[in-house]
Amino acid sequence: MKVPPPDLARRLLEASEGILTDEPAPRLEDVARTVGASRASMYYYFAGRDDLLAYLLTAHAREGAEHAHRSAAGADSAPARLRAMLDALADYLGGHPGVCSGLLAATGGGRRMSEVLAVNDTWVAAPLRAVVAEGVADGQFVVGDPNDPSTVTDTVNAMLGGLLFGVLGRASSGGDPTDPTFRRHLVDQIERGLTTPS
C-alpha cells in the first residue's frame, strides 16, 4: 500500500467514521467524492476497500496509542500510568466509535486486517502489557496466576475488549461515548478487575 500525501491522509481520517460504519460499505469512488479526491487517486493509493480500511485503522491505532502515551508520561506508578492510559484510550475511542467496530470486524478479516491487529498489538496492547506486568511484579495488580506468562496478555486483551465494546455499545444505543462520567465509570470497571482479588 502506498502512503497517501498528508492532505489526503487528513481528509480520509476526518471522514473515517462514515467510511468505517456506513451501510452499505462505501466504494472507493464514493469515498473519493466524500473527501474531494479523484477516483484515480484513490485507486493509486489503495488496492481496494480492505486496503483503505487497513490504512485508516492502522492510523487510528497509532494516533490513539500516542494519545495514551502522552497522557501517561507524568504518572509515577503502574496504577497511575494504567489509569491514564485507559482513560486516554476511552477518550480517543469515544470520539471515534467507528474505530471500535472496525477493529472488532478486523478480528475475522483476511491478511490486511491481520496486519491491522498486529499494529494494534504493537502500539496499544504492548505498552499496556508492560504496565500491567510491572504492577503485578510490584504486587499492585491481581491477574490470576502471576506465574503464567499468558495471564498478563489475557488480562490486557480483556481490558481492550471492555473498552471497545463499552464505547461501541454506548454509541450504538444512542448514548454519548464522549461523556466524561461514562468514561470514568468504564475505566473504573476495567481497573477494578485488576485490584480486587479473585
Q: 109-126, pLDDT tens digit by residue?
A: 666 778 888 999 999 999
Is 136 domain-assigned? Answer: yes
In the block, residue with C-alpha cell 504496565:
131
For the entire predicted model, the pTM comes to: 0.90
Is 164 domain-assigned? Answer: yes
Give how many domains the chain has, as a whole number.
Answer: 1
Report the chain's terminal Cα–Cα distance, integer Å: 46
Is 102 domain-assigned? Answer: yes
Domain that holds residue 112: 49-195
Cell (9 digits) for 103: 477493529
Low-confidence ranges of the chain (pLDDT < 50): 198
- pLDDT of 21 reads 82
Is 92 domain-assigned? Answer: yes
128/119 Cα distance (integer angstroms): 14
Cell (9 digits) for 190: 476495567
- pLDDT of 110 reads 67
Is 171 domain-assigned? Answer: yes
Looking up residue 165, the CATH number of its domain turns out to be 1.10.357.10
Is 1 domain-assigned? Answer: no
15/11 Cα distance (integer angstroms): 6
